[in-house]
Structure 1
Amino acid sequence: MSILLFILGVLIMVIAVGVSIGLHEVGHLVPAKAFGVRVPQYMIGFGKTLWSFKRGDTEYGFKAIPLGGYISMIGMYPPAKNKGAVGATDAPVLRKSSTGMFQQMADEARHMAAEQLQDGDDNRLFYKLPVHKRIIIMLGGPIMNLLIGIVMIGIVTVGFGLPTQTSTVADVYKCVVPLGQEANRDSSVNDGCLPSDVAGPAYAAGLRPGDVITSFDGAPVGETDWAALTASIRSHAGESVALDYEREGVAHSTTITPYKTERPMVNEAGQLITDSSGATKTQDVGFIGMGSKVSNISQPVSAVLPAVGQQLTGVAKVVIDLPARVAAVGKAAFTDAPRDPNGPISVVGVGRIAGEISAMEQIGVVDKAASLVSLVGGLNIALFVFNLIPLLPLDGGHIIGALYESIRRLFAKIFHRADPGPVDIAKMLPLTYVVFAGMLVMGAVLVYADIVKPVTLSN
């Protein structure tokens, strides 16, 4: 049964990836057609065409290698200028010889593009569009992924709810274990307590798992106010404080004295704060020895965009130093070095995680669904950020090229110079091939690592 559930999770993610890629290309296709550009092909995958049909000017279909998708637009490359002849024009020039390999690559690309031209295409060329329309077309794909990400994260945040610490008590500790001694205690013997340990204030005050804290020091405590409650406890070290709680619907009152003890410092995200040497910083705070029950709590719609923003920031940090992170993944794959669970993964890794989520017996169907929806949302946020990298052949490279053309023409107009014409991105093909090769290498490293040393939910 677990194997079947694992396969089901993988299939769900394969479909989700395919739909995300397909909608990304729709994001390019719709504005391209709206602006009159002829689009000969809309394809999911690369390589040999497996199935297709034609509607209007466009062939729609699937190809053998399902590792992406594309639309082809007429006029992506502007024609070369014939500067060597009298009365030079912008007409395409097909050279019999080339001054260099890079020039030949650009000419061959233009030649292949020219072969797609048909009668009546003169006003349907991509490069002839105004800059703002070209930017809209190239932004359409990433924006589609962003919208999918927002919808998926919104479904999880508002519909399923986010894991949130609540005011319900999950654990009560009988004693206060000094910092650094937790690993040396056997919890199966007297709950890990020694006669010399100080009694846990929460346990001594009568609190037990399942109790719901309703007020502390006279201030009401709501269901999701655990962080505020913790902050108040930490600030009342050594003070006797009134505490109200409910047990099975019956209200109770008690007093509690938070014990002043050394505890690790954490930031707002609950992460440990370390010093320059990497050691965890500590401080003396109030401690009562109880833990919170974590429940999925539905958040307001206003919480969706901040949640998306957090994911965007996290993905951007990964993308900024992507080569170094991929190198670290490669080192982990080929050596005994541990793999960073927060590092980049391939589509194979995403599918594996989806399979693990589906096969987990300790979580319910609703939690599995929420996790898979969240995974799809995160994948689309990653696609949005990655495609905006300002390098060809990515969408961000085309956008930067269009912006550069706009700036160049603006300066020409200001200084009363001749219009320099469209930016010839065909001249960037050598760099494009280098970037594409680098992407293939990084993708291969990640796929290999996700097979031999995968990131799993137990990492």
Structure 2
Amino acid sequence: MEILAFVIGVVLMVVGLAVSIALHELGHLWPAKKFGVRVGQYMIGFGPTLWSRRRGETQYGVKAIPLGGYISMAGMYPPSPSLRQAQGPGGRSGRAAGGFFATMVQDARDANDETLRGDDDTRVFYRLPIHKRIIVMLGGPLMNFLFAVVLFAILFTGIGVQTATTTVARLSECVPSTTSATATSECTASDPAAPAATAGIEPGDTIVSIDGEPVADFAEASEIIRSSPGQQLTFVIERDGATETLQVTPARVETTVTAADGTTSTTEAGFVGIGPTVEYVKQPIWAGPQAAVQQVGAVAGIIWQLPAKVWNTAVDLVTGQPRDPNGPLSIVGAGRLSGEVAAADAPVLNRVGGFLQLLASLNIALFVFNLIPLLPLDGGHIAVALWEGIKRVWAKLFRRPPPKPVDATKLVPLTFVVVIALIGMGAVLVLADLFNPVTLG
């Protein structure tokens, strides 16, 4: 049964990833078509085509490997100089001289030229105004961000956050010697009775205030209690719809405090012996967007250190050291965590919440990662468009002729290096997720 639940969790993550990719490419497709760009393909995945159907001028399909997707827009780059010159008998100009990278540039230009229909073709991407090009390329990552907002909203506002409330679930019978002993110690005849039970607090009571301070959750109540050892406190509780006032004096128990530098010390804390009721508390509607924005900051902190973090992951893989739980994951790692969430010994709602949080975090990662200003990522195309816009503004300010469109095919060598680096880092993360994984534990 546990294995079946694990498999279901992995399958759900694969489906969730496919939906995320589909929405990402839809974010490119919709504005491209809205602005009149000719789109030849809308594909989810890579490799062999499993299913496809043509509607109008666009072929829609699903491929075998769900690790990405793409849309093919006509004229991503301006036509190459060879397209404007007389073609040879074979209909193509000669191959580029200059070695491997020059050949790559020429291949990219040839592939781009095949999507053009002459100099009078207006339904091409490179002819769009700068702001429209940015909208098309920003649409994909933005869809991932909005999907994450929806998932976080379902998690926080629809399901709620598990919160220790001020309603008493259980009482301790006695006072332990230390706070760390409360969960495991058994009472003896010589142990003093717990203050809460002695004062008359009962399971089901709801603490309204302590010493005149309203308490909204157990954390607030606990903070007051722990900071008041030996001091009599006035508890206002609600029981069966009526309020009562009780006097409770927290007992003194030893507790260990860990400082920011890792050093520990022993001090006294108050203890009354109550355990809270844990409930799902629904958060305000803005909690979802707020969580998404906070997650963007956290992921961005990982992304800009990605090469170093992947290197550390590789070192941990070789040495067998535990991985940083806040480090990067591959889709294999995300699928594995999803399986562990599904197979966890926890209520179904907890597992659903864990899956939603994992999928939302994955979409935030896709949003941030795709904004890196390097081709072939969306951020690279946005950077090219912004550079062309800067050149146009500069020419206009100094009354110079409008510049030619930026030929991004010249960046193919850099793109090649980026792709190889991404493949290498992805391979390291996949191996780490297989042989030195991050687990729920």
Q: TM-score band (shorter)?
A: 0.7 to 0.9
CA distance, structure 2, for counterparts of residue 123 and residue 346 of structure 1:
40
State which drifts further: 146-155 or 326-335. 326-335
Cα distance change of structure 1 residues 137 and 283 upon mapping to structure 2, 3 Å threshold = farther
Does the CA contact (< 8 Å) of 1:38 and 1:121 recur in 2? no
SS at match of 1:66: strand
Structure 1 residue corresponding to 2:186, chosen from 179, 185, 190:
190
CA distance, structure 1, for counterparts of residue 51 and residue 228 of structure 2:
70
**Partner of residue 350, structure 2:** 367
Does the CA contact (< 8 Å) of 1:102 and 1:427 recur in 2? no
Does the CA contact (< 8 Å) of 1:94 and 1:111 recur in 2? no
SS at match of 2:279: strand
Give the C-alpha shift of residue 65 in structure 1.
Answer: 2.2
Structure 2 residue corresponding to 1:314, chosen from 294, 298, 309:
298
Give the C-alpha shift of residue 131 in structure 1.
Answer: 0.6
- Cα deviation, 1:362-391, whole Å, max 9, x if unaligned, reads 323333223222322222122111111111
**Matched AA of 1:155:** I
1:337 aligns with 2:321: yes
Give the C-alpha shift of residue 100 in structure 1.
Answer: 5.1
**Partner of residue 418, structure 2:** 435
Does the CA contact (< 8 Å) of 1:274 and 1:280 recur in 2? no
CA distance, structure 2, for counterparts of residue 6 and residue 436 of structure 1:
32
Structure 2 residue corresponding to 1:226, chosen from 218, 227, 231:
218
Give the C-alpha shift of residue 294 in structure 1.
Answer: 2.9
- Residue correspondence of structure 1 range 49-64 to structure 2 within 5 A: 49-64=49-64
SS at match of 1:295: strand
Cα distance change of structure 1 residues 199 and 404 upon mapping to structure 2, 3 Å threshold = farther
**Partner of residue 346, structure 1:** 330
Does the CA contact (< 8 Å) of 1:146 and 1:384 recur in 2? yes
How many aligned positions are there? 433
**Partner of residue 167, structure 2:** 168
**Partner of residue 302, structure 1:** 286
CA distance, structure 2, for counterparts of residue 46 and residue 387 of structure 1:
18
**Partner of residue 151, structure 1:** 150
Cα distance change of structure 1 residues 133 and 336 upon mapping to structure 2, 3 Å threshold = same
CA distance, structure 1, for counterparts of residue 416 and residue 263 of structure 2:
45
**Matched AA of 1:453:** N
Cα distance change of structure 1 residues 292 and 280 upon mapping to structure 2, 3 Å threshold = farther
CA distance, structure 2, for counterparts of residue 321 and residue 424 of structure 1:
30
**Matched AA of 1:316:** A
Give the C-alpha shift of residue 116 in structure 1.
Answer: 2.7
CA distance, structure 1, for counterparts of residue 266 and residue 45 of structure 2:
53
Gaps of 5+ in 1: 86-92, 266-271
- Cα deviation, 1:140-164, whole Å, max 9, x if unaligned, reads 1011111111111111111100122
Give the C-alpha shift of residue 194 in structure 1.
Answer: 11
SS at match of 1:190: coil
CA distance, structure 2, for counterparts of residue 403 and residue 300 of structure 1:
38
CA distance, structure 2, for counterparts of residue 328 and residue 77 of structure 1:
38
Give the C-alpha shift of residue 455 in structure 1.
Answer: 2.0
**Matched AA of 1:410:** V
Cα distance change of structure 1 residues 279 and 437 upon mapping to structure 2, 3 Å threshold = farther
Does the CA contact (< 8 Å) of 2:166 and 2:218 recur in 1? yes
SS at match of 2:68: strand
- Cα deviation, 1:279-330, whole Å, max 9, x if unaligned, reads 3588876555545433211112132222222222222222121222222222
Does the CA contact (< 8 Å) of 2:176 and 2:185 recur in 1? no
1:244 aligns with 2:250: no
1:66 aligns with 2:66: yes
1:116 aligns with 2:118: no
Gaps of 5+ in 2: 86-91
Q: Percent identity?
A: 49
Give the C-alpha shift of residue 21 in structure 1.
Answer: 0.4
SS at match of 1:175: coil
Give the C-alpha shift of residue 259 in structure 1.
Answer: 5.6
Give the C-alpha shift of residue 446 in structure 1.
Answer: 1.7
- Cα deviation, 1:55-97, whole Å, max 9, x if unaligned, reads 2111111223221100111111223458xx9xxxxxxx94544
Does the CA contact (< 8 Å) of 1:274 and 1:281 recur in 2? no
Does the CA contact (< 8 Å) of 1:142 and 1:383 recur in 2? yes
CA distance, structure 2, for counterparts of residue 37 and residue 238 of structure 1:
75
Taking structure 2 as the reference length, the TM-score comes to 0.87
SS at match of 2:439: coil
**Partner of residue 260, structure 2:** 274
1:256 aligns with 2:248: yes
Cα distance change of structure 1 residues 280 and 149 upon mapping to structure 2, 3 Å threshold = farther
**Partner of residue 392, structure 2:** 409
State which drifts further: 18-27 or 52-61. 52-61
**Partner of residue 327, structure 1:** 311
Does the CA contact (< 8 Å) of 2:167 and 2:205 recur in 1? yes
Give the C-alpha shift of residue 110 in structure 1.
Answer: 0.5
- Cα deviation, 1:77-131, whole Å, max 9, x if unaligned, reads 223458xx9xxxxxxx945442454333222211121123336871012111111
- Cα deviation, 1:193-244, whole Å, max 9, x if unaligned, reads 997x98765455454655421221123334xx33433444455455322012
